């Protein structure tokens, strides 16, 4: 049987922690930042853990851990 392919868009957007949780960036921080308050932009920095239902779908898209 052939190898499964990882989803290329997901490879660029998600990383896995050592325990298998999915790290993701916050959305809404790419453009049109002038109308967003500085506090709102500050809260969108960094990464967070994806929700459990989303994590299940991401694991299906990245069968080999995103490598």
Which domains, and CATH codes, for the chain?
8-61 (4.10.410.60)
Question: pTM of this prediction?
Answer: 0.84
Residue-level pLDDT at 1: 87
**4-17 mean pLDDT:** 95
Residue-level pLDDT at 65: 85
Burial status of residue 14 (CB atoms within 10 A of its CB: 0-12, 13-18, 19 or more) = buried
Q: How far apart are CA 56 and CA 22, in angstroms?
A: 9
Above 80 in pLDDT, residue 67?
no
State pLDDT tens for residues 13-62.
999 999 999 999 999 999 999 999 999 999 999 999 999 999 999 999 99
How many other β-carbons are positioned within 10 Å of the β-carbon of residue 62? 20
């Amino acid at each position: 049987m052939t190898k499964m392919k990882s989803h290329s868009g997901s490879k660029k957007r998600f990383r896995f922690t050592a325990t298998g949780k999915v790290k993701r960036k916050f959305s809404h921080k790419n453009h049109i930042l002038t109308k967003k308050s500085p506090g709102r932009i500050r809260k969108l920095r960094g990464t967070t853990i994806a929700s459990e239902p989303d994590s299940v779908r991401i694991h299906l898209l990245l069968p080999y851990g995103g490598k």
